[in-house]
Structure 1
Amino acid sequence: MEPTSITERAERILHDAASTLMTPTAGECLACFVARQLDEFGCDGTHRFASHYRDSVAPRATALLARLSAMGACCCDCEMFMNTYQPATRLWTQAHEFVDSDDCDAWAEPAPPDTMPPCETTRRGSTQPCANWERVSRSRYR
């Protein structure tokens, strides 16, 4: 048996680390997984994370990309959060009045959370978002 080279061991370590990062956690929903991956790796202009989720968790969801496209995420993963899903209203900061640096009264609009809470999970094989996400309301007629 030939000993493994340092290069092969390094490649194995990198492969294992990438697999760990790219694997949806147990019960993790599509939206939480894609948001986590986008935070970690950014968008490359494709549906690579949604496709990876489908292949790993919900292989029977063959129409997932068509459904996302119909909801407004036609070209890439980041469009899911521009046009399709947003953090649930209960997670947003409340609108409030405050005094600004010039001692004037000011109004802060509701805002989404800076970081999302842990995924509230979905059933195995589902491509629906967990309770942390809501559909973005879109006008049918533009």
Structure 2
Amino acid sequence: MLLLMALFAGALITLQAGINSQLGVLLKNSLMATVVAFALSILVSGLALISFTSQWPNWSDVRAVPWYLWFGGVISATGVGLFYFLIPKMGVGAMMSYALTGQLVLAVLASHFGWFGLPQVSLNQAKLIGLSAMIAGLVLLNR
């Protein structure tokens, strides 16, 4: 079930990127499309938070969060904005293939070094072969 949910999440990312990049084209402003997407995300996430959260963090839990973890939204806004800007120029297939490759390379490095407090999973030959195959696939997909 988790695998299906992960595949569905990936499909939703491609769908929203394509839809919102077209919104940016029609509005002639990819940043406006980014703001619209995040405003609606705040609304939907806020309603879900209020509806489904039974236990809220206390103030000491909030203060214990490392400062840099509060800046994920800046990274999200930058990444999403770049998607909406680049898709009309590159096409959704090319953009998603490059983005996925970037995600996988960073994921392997983050796992190997245990960045962001993630469990450490060593880089091995199989992972290097898999990444190489992804990069080869990227080249073939974008010919």
Bin for the TM-score computed over the shorter chain: under 0.3
Higher helix share: 2
Name which one, 1 or 2, has greater alpha-carbon Rg: 1
Higher strand share: 1
TM-score if structure 2 supplies the norm length?
A: 0.26
Larger RCO, structure (CA 8 Å, separation 6 or more) = 1
TM-score if structure 1 supplies the norm length?
A: 0.26
